[in-house]
């Protein structure tokens, strides 16, 4: 399953948890200590998304949108095709 929606502040679900696991896997936990994979797109997740967007030099929306998904789709072999249901 691919991400079927944009993910933004206050969204919840397994797709948000998968995104958070990705953010932790690329080291965002060291920059944002409150970031956890809890399935809730909260403040720390939003802050991590902003940092990712800045690092990839794409527009900062703090939303996991189409442009952000495209920018990180194959980052270090991390595959977004295996998102849990």
- The predicted-structure confidence for 18-75, as pLDDT tens digits, reads as follows 999 989 988 999 999 999 999 999 999 999 999 999 999 999 999 999 999 888 876 6
Q: pTM for the full model?
A: 0.84
Tell me the Cα Rg of the chain: 11
Q: Determine the distance from the C-alpha atom of residue 40 to the mean position of all C-alpha atoms in its chain, rounded to a whole number.
A: 11
Q: What is the pLDDT of residue 62?
A: 97
Q: Are 74 and 47 in contact (CB under 8 A)?
A: no
Confidence of residue 5 (pLDDT cuts 50, 70, 90): confident
Q: What is the pLDDT of residue 79?
A: 55
Q: What is the pLDDT of residue 71?
A: 85
d(CA 67, CA 52): 12
d(CA 42, CA 71): 22
């Amino acid at each position: 399953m691919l991400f079927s929606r944009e993910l933004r502040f206050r969204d919840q679900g397994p797709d948000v948890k998968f995104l958070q696991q990705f953010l932790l896997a690329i080291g965002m936990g060291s920059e944002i200590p409150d970031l956890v994979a809890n399935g809730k797109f909260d403040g720390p997740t939003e802050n991590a998304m902003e940092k990712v967007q800045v690092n990839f030099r794409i527009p900062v929306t703090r939303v996991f949108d189409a442009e952000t998904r495209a920018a990180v789709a194959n980052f270090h072999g991390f595959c977004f095709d295996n998102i849990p249901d």
